Amino acid sequence: MEDGVVLVYPCEGAVPMTTMVASRASEIKKMVFIDSTWAQSKQIYKDPRLKALPCVILRTRKSLFWRYQLGKPDSYLATIEAIYDAVVNLEERRRGNDEASSYDGSYDNLLFFFRYFYEKMNDLYFNKSPTA
């Protein structure tokens, strides 16, 4: 398995990204994400190539996704939310600072279409806009 590759997935034995020290975070070269429903991701995770990867989990935060997974908490993020959170977290670690104030917004464009469709769904179905 290639060094520096991690799977961002909440499996048993996964290490929280927030507890990684800066030197460990700098070793992460690639992050793998499973882009599917949560039910499907359990089946996909059974692939031996994925199971061989060390797993990390993200800090808990509420999803803004408009289609929540039935029977799952609202902390189960959409894939793009997870990617965004992971790269921001990794950047903060590489800078040696856990403070959100150290983040300069350089990855915010990842959420452009997510935000667009989030607002569109709210306007169409809920007739309300999100707070910024």
Query: What are the residue boundaries of the structural domains of the chain, listed by start?
Result: 5-126
Q: What is the pTM of this model?
A: 0.74
Mean pLDDT of 98-115: 77
Mean pLDDT of 66-92: 79
pLDDT digit string, tens, across residues 5-59? 999 998 889 988 876 544 455 678 899 999 988 789 999 999 999 999 999 988 8
pLDDT given for residue 45 in this prediction:
95
Which contacts qualify for 114-118: CB closer than 8 Å, 24 or more apart? 114/64, 114/78, 114/80, 114/81, 117/66, 118/64, 118/65, 118/66
pLDDT digit string, tens, across residues 61-70? 877 766 656 6
b/e burial code for range 43-63 (CB count within 10 A of at least 16 → b): eebeeeebeebebbbbeeeeb
| CA-CA-CA-CA torsion sign (128, 113, 5, 94) | negative
Percentage above 70 pLDDT, the chain: 79
pLDDT given for residue 21 in this prediction:
45
Q: Which amino acid is at 45?
A: Y
